[in-house]
A and B are shown apart, each in its own frame.
Chain A
Amino acid sequence: MAYVIRPRDPRTQPEGVVPGYSQTAQRWPAQPPARRVHGAAELSGPRGLTRRLAPVRGDLAGTGDKRAIGQLIHVRARIVDEDGAPVAGALVEVWHCNAAGKYIHPNDDNDAPVDPNFYGAARMVAGEDGLVELRTIKPAAYPVPGTGGWWRPPHVHFSVWGRVWLSRLVTQMFFPGEPLNEHDAILNAVRDPQARQRCIARLVPQENLLAYDYELVVRGAAAAPGMP
């Protein structure tokens, strides 16, 4: 089946150079990017990424005396394309900081404690329904050094693959009701309020845990019949 990737809508995607986020002005290209016709390279795979990237963990919260500190949350993320069709077998990478705002990463020099029972990275494979379920703890807010008071709101990083090379999606999931959301330079680099809202997970009330639903729409749609 022919698959098409339409140009990005700049209103629903972030600006390249973002006020208040100084590294963007060092790194985002100054020259306008070239448009090109998509061929086999852009509209093919990779399929079966687990041949190179093995799935690791789907539970970052742990249990018993290995339980990570923090509020237990379940995140149910669904990967669909622009037709709303689930991307069965999509590979999904997730990472986030601990309940004190600390990442397990050599570059994180935030003065916050490490939790020996928390390792914040998971790689999962979506089922036939495009769903992955992550059991973890809620990440905290943390300060961005050298920015005069920019605190990142709690967020979870997502890296997913869709059906073709140009469907790659790396983004961040935010939590509803967080006061820092409206001040975050990264989230607010998306101009369209509805597109911003879709970056925020939906709270689904449940008895014993905080559950969130989140939908990731990767680029690409089936070509309309009769279209080239």
Chain B
Amino acid sequence: MKRLVPTAELTLGPFFPPEFAEGANDLTHLDGRQVPGELIEVTGRVVQLDGKPLDNVVLEIWQADAEGRYDNPDFFGWGRAATDAHGVYSFRTIKPGGRAPSINFLLLYSGLMRQLHTVMFFDRVELKEVKHAERLVAKKEGANRYRFDIRLRGEGETPFFED
């Protein structure tokens, strides 16, 4: 059977509707109820080559529930946030379970012709395919707060995945 070629991705551009970027960064509640698990905040700053923090970057996440499952109907592991004028994003979520707990990140932005994928880990991780895997480990800041900064390009560049 002939397969179709996926449509070319093209940049999000600078005018993603503000209403689309709001209100989807809290994964701790679903249908009005709090989801089971350890509540955490994940926050960070997104910068470009010259170190400038980026405003209005769209970040989407996909994560497992507290047991490491992606198919739990009582937890919805998807969220979206946008950075503020200081380049800072934030998610409220629960700590995912599983063997190497992690949160998948997808970035969309003006000047990014295609989506970028990366992964945030909570603990030290060995990934043979990734140089500087240590940059994928969030810094713990307080009891329930994790910081995951993203540098798109330049010194200290965040490792990204090509799928």
Residues of A near any B CB (own CB < 8 A): 5, 7-9, 12-16, 18, 21, 23-36, 38, 40-42, 44-46, 48-49, 51-53, 56, 80-84, 93, 95, 97, 103-108, 120-121, 123, 157, 159, 165-166, 168-172, 186-187, 189-190, 194-196, 198-199, 215-219, 221
Which residues of chain B (124-163) have a CB below 8 Å from chain A?
A: 127, 129-131, 152-154, 157-163
Bound Cα distance A82, B130 (Å): 29
Contact B9 A171 (CB under 8 A): yes
Contact B71 A166 (CB under 8 A): no
Instruction: Name the residue of chain A whose CB is nearest to the CB of B162.
Output: A33
Residues of chain A with a CB closer than 8 A to B162's CB: 7-8, 32-35
Residues of chain A with a CB closer than 8 A to B152's CB: 26-29
Q: A26-B50, A170-B108 are in contact. Are A45 and B113 (CB under 8 A)?
A: no
Task: Flag B12-29 by CB within 8 Å of A: 1 or 0 each.
Answer: 111111111000100000
Contact B17 A95 (CB under 8 A): yes
Contact A82 B6 (CB under 8 A): yes
Total cross-chain contacts (CB, 8 A): 213
The binding surface of chain A is classed by DSSP as loop
Contact B11 A25 (CB under 8 A): no
Instruction: Name the residue of chain B whose CB is nearest to the CB of A144.
Output: B14
**B122 in the interface, Cβ–Cβ < 8 Å?**
no
Residues of chain A with a CB closer than 8 A to B114's CB: 13-14, 16
Please list the 7 inter-chain residue pairs (A to B) with the smallest Cβ-Cβ separation, ordered nearest first. A23-B111, A33-B162, A46-B78, A121-B17, A44-B70, A103-B15, A27-B111
Of A40, A104, A171, which contacts B10 at CB under 8 A?
A: A171
Bound Cα distance A12, B4 (Å): 12
Instruction: Name the residue of chain B whose CB is nearest to the CB of A53.
Output: B24
Q: A95-B20, A172-B10 are in contact. Are A52 and B78 (CB under 8 A)?
A: yes
Contact B160 A13 (CB under 8 A): no
Of A121, A165, A169, which contacts B20 at CB under 8 A?
A: A121
Contact B129 A35 (CB under 8 A): yes
Q: A108-B15, A168-B115 are in contact. Are A26 and B24 (CB under 8 A)?
A: no
Contact B5 A12 (CB under 8 A): yes
Contact B109 A27 (CB under 8 A): yes
Residues of chain B with a CB closer than 8 A to A33's CB: 117, 159-162
Residues of chain B with a CB closer than 8 A to A194's CB: 5
Residues of chain B with a CB closer than 8 A to A106's CB: 18
Contact B14 A107 (CB under 8 A): yes
Can you report 28 A-B residue pairs in the complex whose CB atoms are below 8 A from each other? A7-B162, A14-B8, A14-B113, A14-B114, A15-B113, A26-B153, A27-B109, A27-B111, A27-B112, A31-B159, A33-B161, A41-B64, A41-B102, A51-B31, A105-B17, A106-B18, A107-B14, A107-B56, A108-B14, A108-B15, A157-B16, A170-B108, A171-B10, A189-B113, A190-B10, A198-B5, A217-B6, A219-B6
Residues of chain A with a CB closer than 8 A to B14's CB: 105, 107-108
Contacts A45-B78, A198-B7 known; 13 new A-B pairs at CB < 8 A: A8-B6, A13-B8, A27-B109, A33-B159, A34-B129, A34-B162, A52-B79, A53-B24, A53-B80, A81-B4, A83-B1, A171-B10, A217-B5
Residues of chain A with a CB closer than 8 A to B110's CB: 23
Contact B7 A171 (CB under 8 A): yes
Contact B111 A105 (CB under 8 A): no
